[in-house]
Structure 1
């Protein structure tokens, strides 16, 4: 056997080692893909009921929130009506407001006097 035959045997052996390494890598990648597919299926199977439960929870929470929204809207409407009524009253009855202020002041002064009388009596 000459130098060309030995070179052919070395080249064939090298190609055999490379082919074995490539086939091993392909087999490992195939197993990895199968495992990833299995994991993805497990995650999907577990996530679907969880998403359905979250949807149910959100639906149940939205009901009271809509009621609360209606209540706050009604309170807002009432406070706007009271504000407009008060401003109309203040605009139209300035003298009546002065009289009411004087009455309130007199009532407070009466309370202060009665407290002083009680302290003196003791």
Structure 2
């Protein structure tokens, strides 16, 4: 399961997502020479890097929860830390599932469009 989530981060390479980072550039605005971000940029990051970071964070949360569970069973970690780690992993997993559902729905909507 964790390996499958970790492999999502590698999808940004070689699948056309790297072209998103090439098409989004920061330009200089008219007022005061301030840098202006294009709509595809979030804090100077491309869509592909944001998705890669999100997948990496979700995988790390799942691994931390698994390790905390093992530590809790052996008595190395208090119950509170185990519960916190498992809840963080659950939240990450729910976010990933919600994002996946949105992507699938968007794909289905695109396939329904008439050409």
Does the TM-score normalized on the shorter chain lie above 0.5? no
Q: Which has the larger radius of gyration?
A: 1
Bigger helix share: 1
TM-score, length-scaled by structure 2? 0.32
Asked which structure has the greater RCO (Cα within 8 Å, sep 6+), the reply is: 2
Bigger strand share: 2
